[in-house]
Structure formats: C-alpha cells, structure tokens
Amino acid sequence: MFEDMVTARYYEERLQEEYLEGKQPAFDISAGPIPGELHLAAGQEAAAVGVCQHLRDDDAVTAPHRPHHVAIAKGVDLNRMTAEIFGRKPGLSGGKGGHMHLYDPDVNFACSGIIAEGCPPAVGAGLAAKKRNEDGVAAAYLGEGAISQGAFLESLNLAAVQKLPVVFVVEDNDWAISMPKERVSDVEDGSQRAGGFDMPGVRVDYDDATAVYDAAEEAIGRARAGNGPTLLEVQVHRRMGHFMGDPETYRPDEDKEAAQGRDSIERLAEELRAAGVDDGDLDEIREPARDRVDEAIAWAKEQPEPDPEDAYEDVFVNPPSGATTDEPTHELAEPGGGD
Amino acid sequence: MAQQEPQAIERDLTMSRAMVEAIGHEMRENDEVFYMGEDVADYGGIFDSTEGLLEEFGRDRVMDVPISETAYLGAAVGAAQRGMRPIAELMFVDFFGVAMDQIYNVMAKTAYMSGGSVAVPMVLTAAVGGTYNDAAQHSQTLYGTFAHLPGMKVVVPSTAYDAKGLMHNAIRDDDPVVYLFHKRLMGIGWMPAPDGPKTAVPEEPYVIPFGSADVKREGADVTVVTLGLHVHRAFEAAETLAEDGIDVEVIDLRSLVPLDTETILESIGKTGRLVVVDEDYLSFGVTGEIVATVAEERLAELEAVERVAVPDVPIPYARPMEDEVVPNVDDIEAAVRSVCS
C-alpha cells in the first residue's frame, strides 16, 4: 500500500513538472509536451490503495477524470499509461484517449471524463460476474461532487435491488471544482445516501489508508460473497487546483493550507514506524518506486506520436461514396470463456 | 441647452466580456432573468462566461448548482414554464447526454405539446469545440445535434459584436434558445484566441435577429459558408487565396435555427461555387443541410461543391490525430481550390 501511494504521489509530481514545461510563464493549454487538460489526484491516494489492495486483475474498476492514483493502485501498465498521457502511439489507447480516458483491459481498468459516468458500467461489470456465477466484483470511483448525479443514484438503486457485487467509492476531497461540499449536499456524510437504498454506507476519516483498507475488505468481501453493494466514502484532500492551471481564486487560503498540512502518505508512514518499520525500510520502498516512475516517463517521451491517419482506426466510419471495405474496424479480443 | 449626443465609445471586447455585458444588462432590466450552472458564481464560468456577475447580482441570481445536469437544466425549464427567463449553462456541450431528456423532450417540445399554451423562454448556453487536445468527451461541437431536433433555436457567435447582440436577442426570445460559444473564441487567458473574435462592441444594448447570416467577407469566385471558430479559419484561407487571385466570400451563419437561406442563395447566385466548413461531424450535419438547401433551390447555378468537416470519428487526443480530423486553414484552402479548378 505504501509503495503504491508513493508511486502515485511521485508520478503526479513528475507529471506536473512535465505538464508545465512550455506552458510558462503565460499558461497556454495548447503548449508543452502533455496535451489537453490534466487533473491531478495528489492527496487522494488513500482511497485508491485501500480499496484496490483487495481487488484482483479480473475485478473491474471504473475511475473518473482524475484517475492516475487509482490506475496505479489497480496495476495499470505504467509505461503505456504514461505514453497515453503524453499522446504517444504505444499508449494504452494509441494516443486517442489521453489522461481522462485510460483503458487497460489486462487489469479491467477504465476511466472517463464525465461525472458519475463510470457508475453504470461498474454495475454492468457486477451484473456480468453475477450472471456468470463468478465471484468477481466491481469498484466505481467518483468524487463527492458526483453524488448528486442521476447516474450515481440510479446505479446505487439497480445494484441494490439486484444484489450486485459493486463497491461505490466516493472520494470526498471537499471541492467540486469551485463548489465546496456544503453547497453540494445537505448531508455532510455522503455515505448516508446508502440508507435510501438499504445498503451499508461507510465513511472513513481524512486520509486514513489503513481504515480504508479495513472498510474495503469488508465491503469487497460482502460483494464477493454475493451479499450486494456497499457505498464507501473516503475523506481525502485536494492538494492542487481542479485542473492544472486552475487559479483557485474561489478557495480560501486557510483551506489550501489545511490541505497542504494533511498527508495520507506521512500518516501511513507514521503507522508503519510505530509498527517497527524504520526509515531505511521506507526509503527502500520509495527509491525503486521513484525509479519506476522516472523510467516510465523517460520511456514514454521516447515513443513516437501516432500517425495522423491512425485517427480513422478503431471506429466504424461511413465509407466514402462508392468505396467498400472488407476490413474490420478493429480487432476484438477473444471473448472470455470460449464458444 | 443642447442635448448631449451619446458618444460611440471605441473599445474592443473579448467575446466572453461581450456576452457577459448583454447578460448583465438583461438581468438589470428584468428581475425574471437569472443564471444557473456549474462553477458560474465564484469561478465566473470555466470559460469566463459569467465573469463578474456574482459580484453584482449575488447568489440568488447567479446560482452555482450541484453537478446534476438533469435536475438543474430541467429546473430551468420549469422556471421558464412559469414565465421566468433562466439562462442555464451546460459546461461542455459534450455533457448534453446526461440531461438530453430535459433538453429535447421538455425544453424543446413543451410549446408544441401544449398547443402553444406554455412557453419556455430560456437560454441554454454551452461551450463547444476542440483544437486544444481535450479528447473525445470534451471537444465536440455538436451544432447539428441541436439543430436537427425541432423546437430549439440554435445560435453560434463568432465575434464579440455578434455575441452581444445575439445574447440580447436570445434572452428576450420567448422560445428556448441554445447558445453555443466556441472555447477558443472567448478570449480566456489560458487558451489563446485567433485575432478575429475580439472586436469593437457598443456599450448600449442592441439586438442581432436570428436568421440573419452575415457576409463577413465579400468575394466573387466562391462562397464559403461556416460558423464559429471556422469563420476565422476561413478568413485566413481567403487571405492566402486572394494572393492567387481567388476571391472568397465568407458567410457566417450566426444562427442555424432559424437558417438564413436567402443570404446563402444570393451568394451562390453570384459565385456558383460552394464550400461548407463545419467543426461538427460530416455526416447528417450542417454541411449536408446547407448543400441540400442550395441544391434544391439553385441546382442549375451550382458549379461545384465541397464539404469540410470532422470525418465521422470521435475527436482523438494526441495532436497529430486531432490536427488531422479538425478542419484547419489548409483544408479550407484546398477545398476552395478544388471547387475553383
């Protein structure tokens, strides 16, 4: 868990550096080595690692637009994820998706750029597991700003009435872009929404990875045993703006300072020290984790960009007038379970 | 004593400032006008669409809402049905799917289904457009989607002057109006705009009627019909083509519904050659509509036609692929040369 948290945090620090290259002094979103928007998740690692520790490769995870920490915790291929973020050809999606649209079918990870959009597909993954009499589970990640979305509330209901093996993980970082939590919901504890669907709702204190681990163990065990979904809300913090370049003028200084004063990784390190792990042992985890990140970034940057014509692959396109095509639009993997 | 004449004050505004000026004026004039959306109050709109409005009007009239498009866009419809004049912002047009039932089954159809007895005098604003590598879920233009479904007026400004006049008209209109602004035209700091959209804007209110396309550049050889960002790309292509003696007329549609067919047909009568440029998908969209209209009415005068649009693929993330699919100045230039050859 500590290793994944350190990896995720360092990964984000390195992405931040790379992203800002060429975008300063005047921020221009079109410049620099990383295209598009970038939403960093530093401060949210506890929610990622505490849950994903209990998941297998065949368990599904759907993450929102701030996906890197969850992807790392789920075991997404770091090199190919990084190549995707840099818009390179060997990226997970061949450069088509970018940082908000990372798909790694090897570990059943997906994310998307629209709020609460991953909830219904997670329910679908749970449904597939149940229909096939498998013990797989699905975890749907969303932010606390997304708990008002119809897609989330409808997913809770469907998962509950069908007793599907789904864990909804709300990462409460206190802010939905510029909206503080108290103006999003009249209940401070988002896990209370579970009550309306007669499912367990659990809330974990600020950045407590161990408590997340324990709560997730129970929720995932419950799901795997066929006893239905759980809503797990984890209080995390947002160390940076909503997206890189966000001036955060709406956010009080004391709130920014409070966020900087919290650190889930340090909290876990303290616990480990109390349990007898010394700083040397922690460094032995940190250093290779950092090397791995540096190597992934260096590798990704060496990779070629996609060809312009690659834009026409992986989707069925109306053939131009008079043209015919026998080529499949993309190769599908063999369906699981055989014919 | 001589009455003082109002002075026309020369000042250039960004497109976002011009939009906000019209909204502010209408809110001052009419207590029934209010603005709601995600990050529109404290943030001022992610694309500066409401900058400064909170300070003047307060949270009751500039409302941040939870992320719940179905609820708040539907609530805007409901308030409009009661005679208020909401302006509701959908942050990215790509998010329309979350709330499309409220948009096209309720907002767009109420007037018709009620036999004209219930109006929905609201404005739905949304940011459109790519060109900054934000990939398939944050880069669409979708002009055609909204124009295709009956019941909504669809407006697309390309300059600050137009943005203000069209916004005044949109808020005063008794039908639902979808007002689509291109991110790259807004004049926001972190997304450099081309030179064109920042224009002189009068301080006093004025109305640009819908269905009045604007001949933004006169020319004799070929008609380029377009809208939004691509008005400016068409200008750039026209400058290059002028060096080779090709005289391009650029028509900015300004509204898709209603569509000003007269201005287009008049121009075709003059040039006989048509290029339609759209940042939306090629098939079943704006380009097909314009070409079909011209073919129906002026087939005999039509010598050549080309369409330039996104070739029916989602918008890819990496720069070489996005550059490939989003029409650029070279694509427009090539299409014009093709119809002139």
Q: Looking at residues A137-144, what average pLDDT do you find?
A: 98
Instruction: Choose the mutation target among B69, B190, B325, B331 for the interface with A, i.e. most A CBs under 10 Å.
Output: B190
In this predicted structure, what is the pLDDT of residue A332? 64
For residue A170, pLDDT over 70 is answered with: yes
Q: Structure pTM?
A: 0.92
Residues of A in contact with B39 (CB under 8 A): 177-179
The confidence score (pLDDT) of residue A324 equals 46
pLDDT of residue B226: 98
- Residue A98 at interface with chain B, using a CB cutoff of 8 Å: yes
Tell me: pLDDT of A176 over 70.
yes
The confidence band for A27, taking pLDDT boundaries of 50, 70 and 90, is confident
A-chain CB neighbours of B52 within 8 Å are none
How far is C-alpha A144 from the chain's CA centre?
14
Tell me the nearest-neighbour CA distance from A232 into chain B, angstroms: 20
Interface test with A, best of B68, B91, B139 (most A CBs within 10 A): B68
Interval A41-55: pLDDT, tens = 999 999 999 999 999
Are the CB atoms for A95 and A300 separated by under 8 Å? no
Mean pLDDT of B240-252: 98
pLDDT by residue (tens digit) across B247-270? Answer: 999 999 999 999 999 999 999 999
Among A263-267, A333-337, B113-117, name the one with the lowest average pLDDT.
A333-337
Mind telling me how many Å the CA of A219 is from chain B's nearest CA? Answer: 27
Tell whether the model's pLDDT for residue A23 goes beyond 90: no
Q: Which residue of A has its CA nearest to B66?
A: A184
Given pLDDT bands bounded at 50, 70 and 90, which one contains residue B136? very high
Of B133, B283, B314, the CB nearest to A36: B133
Minimal-distance CA residue of chain B relative to A24: B190
- Percentage of chain B with pLDDT > 90? 95
**A163: closest CA of chain B, how far (Å):** 25
Selected catalytic residue, list B25, B138, B168, B232: B138
Strand partners, B180: B126
Mean of per-residue pLDDT scores for chain A: 93
Is B138 a residue of the active site?
yes
Kindly report the CA angle at A166 between A162 and A171, in degrees rounded to 5?
135
| Alpha carbons B88 and B77: distance in angstroms, whole number | 9
- Residue A25: the pLDDT is 79
Verify whether the Cβ–Cβ distance B135 to A97 is below 8 Å: yes
Distances (CA, A) of B32 to B27, B77, B122: 8, 13, 11
Residue A119 makes CB contacts below 8 A (sequence gap 6+) with: A62, A140, A142, A149, A151, A152, A154, A155, A156, A168
Q: In B, which residues are within 8 Å of A307 by CB distance?
A: 320
Name the minimum distance, in Å, from the CA of B34 to any CA of chain A: 18
Task: Please write the tens of the pLDDT for every residue from B277-306.
Answer: 999 999 999 999 999 999 999 999 999 999
**pLDDT digit string, tens, across residues A87-107:** 999 999 999 999 999 999 999
Residue B317 to residue A98, Cβ atoms within 8 A: yes
Looking at the predicted structure, is the pLDDT value of residue A210 above 50? yes
pLDDT at B208 exceeding the cut of 90 = yes
> Dmax of chain A from CA atoms?
73
pLDDT at residue A335 is higher than 90: no
The percent of chain B in helix, strand and coil, each rounded to the nearest 5, is: 40, 20, 40
Please check the confidence at residue A334 and state whether its pLDDT lies above 70. Answer: no
Provide the residue type at A266 as one letter. Answer: E
- What per-residue confidence (pLDDT) applies to B193? 84
Which residues of chain A does B317 touch, with a Cβ-Cβ cutoff of 8 Å? Answer: 35-36, 84, 87, 93, 95-98, 101
State the greatest distance between any 2 C-alpha atoms of chain B, in Å, as a whole number: 67
Choose the closest CB to B325 out of A26, A27, A311: A311
**Would the pLDDT of A252 be above 90?**
yes
Q: Contact B318/A29, CB-based, under 8 Å? A: no
Q: Looking at residues A70-85, what average pLDDT do you find?
A: 98
Q: Which pLDDT value is given to residue B222?
A: 98
Contact assignment for A98 to B320 by CB distance below 8 Å: no
pLDDT band at B2 (very low <50, low <70, confident <90, very high): very low
| Residue the block writes with tokens 């991953």 | A118
The per-type count for chain B, helices as H runs and strands as E runs, is 12, 14
Q: Which DSSP string corresponds to A250-308?
A: TS-HHHHHHHHH--HHHHHHHHHHHTT--HHHHHHHHHHHHHHHHHHHHHHHHSPPPPG
The highest-confidence range among A184-193, A324-333, B86-95, by mean pLDDT, is: B86-95
User: Are B276 and B290 within 8 A, CB to CB?
Assistant: yes
> What's the confidence (pLDDT) of residue B10?
77
- Asked if B317 lies within 8 A of A305 by C-beta distance, the reply is no
Residue B234 has pLDDT above 50, yes or no: yes
- B120, B80 contact by CB (below 8 A): yes
- pLDDT for res B1: 41
Q: What is the DSSP letter of A146?
A: G
Cα gap B139→A64, rounded to integer Å = 17
Distance from the Cα of B130 to chain A's closest Cα (Å) equals 10
Candidates A37, A95, A114; nearest CB to B321: A95
| pLDDT at position A232 | 98
- pLDDT for B189 equals 87
B284 touches chain A (CB under 8 A): no
Smallest CA–CA separation between A47 and chain B, in Å?
A: 21
CB contact under 8 A, A28 and B190: yes
Q: Do B325 and A318 touch (CB under 8 A)?
A: no
Contact A177 B98 (CB under 8 A): no
Please check the confidence at residue B4 and state whether its pLDDT lies above 90: no
pLDDT at A140 over 60: yes
Give per-residue pLDDT as tens, B152-174: 999 999 999 999 999 999 999 99
Region of A202 on the Ramachandran plot (φ > 0 left; ψ -120 to 50 alpha; else beta): beta
Instruction: Please answer whether residues A267 and A208 qualify as being in contact, where contact means their C-beta atoms are separated by less than 8 angstroms.
Output: yes
- Partner residue facing B135 (CB), from A26, A101, A149: A101
CB A238 within 8 A of CB A206: no
User: What pLDDT was estimated at residue A320?
Assistant: 52
B293 reaches A (C-beta below 8 A)? no
Task: Read off the pLDDT of residues A269-291 as tens digits, 9 standing for 90 and up.
Answer: 999 999 999 999 999 999 999 99
Contact at CB, B39 and A151, closer than 8 angstroms: no
Tell me, what's the pLDDT at A328?
55
Q: How confident is the model at residue A338 (pLDDT cuts 50, 70, 90)?
A: very low
- Taking the CA atoms of B187, B190, B191 and B192 in sequence, report the sign of the dihedral they define: positive
Pick from B39, B70, B137: CB nearest A114? B137
Closest approach of A185 to chain B, Cα-based (Å): 8
pLDDT of residue B8: 58
Q: Which residue of chain A is at minimal alpha-carbon distance from B65?
A: A184
Tokens, residue A205? 């204190």
A vs B, Cβ pairs < 8 A, gives 150
Q: Is the pLDDT of residue A265 over 60?
A: yes
Q: Which two tokens stand for residue B32?
A: 């029934």
| pLDDT confidence band for A331 (50 / 70 / 90) | low
SS3 A172: strand
Q: Is A115 an interface residue toward B (CB < 8 Å)?
A: yes
User: Chain A contact for B138, CB < 8 A?
Assistant: yes
